[in-house]
Structure 1
């Protein structure tokens, strides 16, 4: 078996100082076999709390999940566990293939401002991309050009347009 049974409230622990004990609290909203799931810090009836040998990969309410074999602060060991929920440290499914990078392209937009920092509306412009594409237009009321999109990262050149 690649995993261990999940620990729950009422599962048995063996405490060197107090003999057989039980986990007395667990998650308020995650249940295994109808019992609260045990997590890092949850207490046993002897006052010990779950403190070690916990899952490094499964978290319940932000706390590491406890399993059969997890340790308590008194040196106790959880010996009980779920018969239906197994927690492992690695997946048992198919290997994950990396997702190929998605090139969404690049885009840019210019804002033309005057010397006082105010937008320049109705200004005829020409934008030329490094690959030679020419975009002509007039800035809007906020001084914005149209947005220019390219497949690759390119330098854009903005200049006044006498032909617009």
Structure 2
């Protein structure tokens, strides 16, 4: 598809997994930037579409939502995921040679509660991650926001916006 696009040809790509679709989108955008004009049919465009995908196929929803935030889905073996559905890696130390830091991500489609924030905090400690993110279909409750705020804040050496660690 990228070669066809570069050659100015018309093309159609078809796949049923959001992982593959996200990979193609990433390659096209990396190669052509704003010049990569294309439409993706069948991908959620509204909150209701996302809810429907979550109900229809939770795993495809995870692939889709992680693609939206640029995260990698965690490699899961049979059994428990140990509280990590995905990860993002980043560097924020000035100069070269800074260590790679991580954001651990937990995704929830159903009802979310303060206990999910506490579980994420435990994962942060165990994994020694700098930041945790809870991606949810539903807005966090006030109690969840309070729970997250008690975990402290991550301060980037670049300054700017402070955010709750979990």
Q: Give the TM-score range, shorter chain.
A: under 0.3
TM-score normalised by L of structure 1? 0.19
Greater Rg over alpha carbons, structure:
1
Q: TM-score, normalised by structure 2?
A: 0.19
